[in-house]
Amino acid sequence: MIPFNDRSGKMWLDGELVEWRDAKLHVLSHGLHYASAVFEGERVYRGQIFKLAEHTERLAQSARILDFELPFSLEQINAACNEVVLAAEITDGYVRPIAWRGSEMMGVSAQQSQIHLSIAAWEWPTYFAPEARMKGIRMQTSKWRRPSSDTAPVHSKAAGLYMTGTLAKHAAEAAGYADALMLDYRGLVSEGTGANIFLVIDGKIHTPIPDCFLDGITRRTVIALARARKIDVIERHIEPCELGNAQEVLLTGTAAEVTPVSEIDEHTFVPGLITQQLIDDYDAEVRR
Ligand code: PMP
């Protein structure tokens, strides 16, 4: 595997394309020490970034939630993302914009710090291995919980929120699972470590209310696709024991796309007609 800091090509940093290997920040950066960083993950299909405007708006909103403004307009960021994809000659890949507080202040308070923004893009086929996609992935419930909205900035795609996600995913992988299911602070089903979750129960789709985790752009897309197929989608609080009532379970995310789940702890699921329909509809939607 080629490390991400040692690749050739160009990426975008603070307003211009720079050599990939030269896109550096100082170790004394607030973003590194205090997690004052927000980012996006976007997919490129056939050279086009899917839902670019929504991702850029979410990036700006994530920054505002962390009490800073991006130093570029939405239009400038959209143009920069497209420029990076063109420069890197990406047909099917991934785009990673990230904004962070710089080095002007090294303390909890960082009112005067400058905001930086970088955008990189790279080739990236599927998040979970293709064979896993069809069979479904195995998941384990994590001991880590998603915090309430008065404990953490849960609606921001903030770097700091991924600390427990990484711990949860590491524990799951060490036990032979592909991902972790995270419950929320109330003990309700919330999401995976980087994707939202849907249950199919007797022909209807049930998905948790995103009141303490990211309301994914893919989640909203898949809800609309399901409703267009006249499949009922019910957003509600879901208890972990209800996993036992589900026939199909799936994850949605920019990277995960629509990924069937075959197992969560003692519960097993068989990816069926609704999952297949949503995979097909999502694939068609992103390549329209
Ligand atoms: N939850 C978390 C924690 C995520 O990291 C992601 C991926 N951004 C999602 C949900 C899904 O969001 P989206 O569909 O916008 O990629």
Question: Model confidence over 80-136: pLDDT tens digits?
Answer: 999 999 999 999 999 999 999 999 999 999 999 999 999 999 998 755 565 656 799
Q: Whose CA is nearest to atom 13 of ligand 1?
A: 216
Residues across the chain: 288
- Whole-number Å distance, alpha carbon 224 to ligand 1 midpoint, is 17
Helix, strand, coil: what percent of the chain each, to 5? 30, 30, 40
| Residue 21 CB contacts under 8 Å (≥ 6 apart), including other chains | 5, 6, 7, 8
**Planar angle of CA 239, 244, 246, nearest 5 degrees:** 95
For residues 128 and 235, the model is more confident at: 235
- Options 3.40.50.800, 3.30.470.10, 3.40.50.970, 3.50.50.60; CATH for 10-123 is 3.30.470.10
pLDDT of residue 63 exceeding 70: yes
C-alpha 46 chain-centroid distance:
20
Q: Ligand 1 atom closest to Cα of 162?
A: 3
- Whole-number Å distance, alpha carbon 4 to ligand 1 midpoint, is 21
Q: Which residues are catalytic?
A: 157
For tokens 């996993």, the residue is: 243
Segment 149-175 shows an average pLDDT of 98
| Residue 75 CB contacts under 8 Å (≥ 6 apart), including other chains | none
pLDDT of residue 77 exceeding 70: yes
Q: What confidence tier does 1 reach under pLDDT thresholds 50, 70, 90?
A: confident
Choose the residue to mutate in 45, 163, 196, 207 for probing ligand 1, maximizing ligand atoms within 8 Å of C-beta.
196
| Of 149, 269, 125, nearest in space to 197 by CA | 269
Establish whether residue 195 lines the binding site of ligand 1, counting it when its CB lies within 6 angstroms of any ligand atom.
yes
pLDDT at residue 124, as a whole number: 87
pLDDT of residue 49 exceeding 80: yes
pLDDT of residue 258 exceeding 90: yes
- The CATH class given to the 132-286 domain equals alpha beta
| Percent of the chain predicted with pLDDT > 70 | 97
Tens digit of pLDDT for each residue in 4-42?
Answer: 999 999 999 999 999 999 999 999 999 999 999 999 999
Segment 177-189 shows an average pLDDT of 98
- Whole-number Å distance, alpha carbon 196 to ligand 1 midpoint, is 6
pLDDT at residue 131, as a whole number: 62
Q: By mean pLDDT, which of 48-62, 117-131, 210-224 is the weakest?
A: 117-131
Q: Would you kindly state where each structural domain of the chain is located, as residue ranges?
A: 10-123, 132-286
pLDDT of residue 189 exceeding 60: yes
pLDDT at residue 71, as a whole number: 98
pLDDT at residue 137, as a whole number: 95
If DSSP codes are grouped into helix, strand and coil, which group holds residue 157? coil
Q: Ligand 1 atom closest to Cα of 55?
A: 15
Q: What confidence tier does 145 reach under pLDDT thresholds 50, 70, 90?
A: very high
pLDDT at residue 134, as a whole number: 74
Q: What confidence tier does 288 reach under pLDDT thresholds 50, 70, 90?
A: confident
Establish whether residue 192 lines the binding site of ligand 1, counting it when its CB lies within 6 angstroms of any ligand atom.
no
Cα–Cα dist 90/84, whole Å: 9
10-123 and 132-286: same fold?
A: no
Q: Whose CA is nearest to atom 5 of ligand 1?
A: 194
